[in-house]
Structure 1
Amino acid sequence: MVADLYTVSFAAMGSRCEVRIAAPDGDAARHIAMHAIDEVRRIEQKYSRYRDDSVVSRINAAAGKHAVACDEETAALLAYADRLHATSDGRFDITSGVLRKAWDFRNAVLPQTSALRDLLPLVGWDKVLHNGASVFLPLPGMELDFGGFGKEYAVDRAAEVLAVMGVRHGYVNLGGDMRFLGPRPDGAAWDIGIQDPRDISATVASIPISRGALATSGDYERFIEVDGRRYCHVLDPRSGMPVSYWRSVSVLAPLAITAGSCTTTAMLLEEDGRDFLDRSGLSYLAIDHDGRIFRRTP
């Protein structure tokens, strides 16, 4: 007997999210899904910069004052951030979130040059002191922001919760970052569309996926347009200005945190992003500023 598919929708991390799994009935699906949803909300509560009681907020509040002790999970995420910084030539920098104070993506107004000039000295992962047991931001006003991989980490943790509970068919989707636990109940792959970055009602490709993860970064997620030019939310930590080479980058990887980190790194590396993607060995689909499509398949 082939089990039915059930979708449990919820909101988290500022995104529309869903758990879609095969289960005997709707009640069973909701019971199983809630364990995964609880894990997503645990991570959001622990690492959201919007919560005063989060680990990230405590670290940021102590900037220029004292080090903050890290538990094993936080230390592992900081070590991952360190690797991302190294492999991206310093472009993937979790201290660059402070630049959001200069950018307002709700209104089509560019930041004052002085605002960026004042914030740029606060950016620099190489300034941060961390040793696996504690982390210290040496300059008052410095901040950490796990937004570059926090949602993808939550996707993976939620998927792992479902796997432990015996789920073999389904996926977790947090705002478009997806982790697949297995094919549809009948064995068919999931058919996932890649959005056209210039037409929200259209797709540019369809990707069959049974297991693994898919993530996409693009200049259409949050942006403003000023004098006909698009400024997206992915900011170069060296200048504080948005990147502009890629319209969209999608990556398939075993883990969502890997897929998401690769898409963001490729966006940040701009014209060098394609070489980075090729070296990764992962499958990808990337659309450049002229609309040209580049892809690598297994």
Structure 2
Amino acid sequence: MYFDIALIAYLTDRIFGEFTFIRHPVVLMGDFITAFQKHFYRDTIARGFWLVFWLLAAVLALVTPISLIDNVWVLGIIASSGIAGKMLYESVQNVLNDPQSIRYLVSRDTENLSKSDINKAAIETYAENLSDGVIAPLFYLLVFGLVGLFLYKAINTLDSMVGYRNEKYEKFGKVAARLDDIANYIPSRITAVLILILFGKLGKLPQTWHYAALHESPNAGYPIAAMALSLNVSLGGATSYFGVIKNKPYFGEGKREISDEDIRSALALQWKLDTLVIIVLAAGVMV
């Protein structure tokens, strides 16, 4: 396992965050997806498959030779671009000062959200993206190295751009969405368990699995339910996407009016997570 590269990557992200002087790999992947849609889009499963195939092939071709560099510091710094812990924390924290910034973090309609709904959306995206942006990239980096990390980021980017069940992407985005479901199956559950452990709520594991099963996604419900139960709030509920109200179930057993203090309580998880991850990775390096 690649503990040394993962440790350097995690510390680099926590200290420096995103490197703004270079074009981010995820942005480049997004450019590829946009260009493919512009020239080859057709709402068929086959055309969506070819989008997935060619993006993953391009990532594999580009990253494989880079992964052969015999310098863990260089590899760790490169890998840090696949971890979004610092950016996620700061983005959710910024909602406390600028509630309207929530529109940059979520895909739901944000124009008419109440303050409680904005806070709820911030906590939900923090919980879900702890999996997508931190734990899952670390998992694939540890197990499969740099190639695994960036293949995961490609899959996740595909899902975030085309993996929607709407008129445009119902068929075109199906392969991307299903592949993302598979890729996040283990990380989402690891994230839920970590949230419960770090909040001292592991006894709520059965409830977490119960509420998570209510989510239409096979993965997103796990970290969201774990966070809701840990904070004693209820997340989910009716939410507007692309002008259509989706009556999602509630996740959790606590209050439904979400305050700024609830966001602060959720963000308090970060230093505990940092400590645990660094200790585990450092121990792995020394073994």
Q: TM-score, normalised by structure 1?
A: 0.31
| Larger Rg computed on CA atoms | 1
From the two aligned structures, give the one with the greater helix fraction: 2
Q: TM-score, normalised by structure 2?
A: 0.32
Query: Highest relative contact order (Cα 8 Å, sep 6+), 1 or 2?
Result: 2
From the two aligned structures, give the one with the greater strand fraction: 1
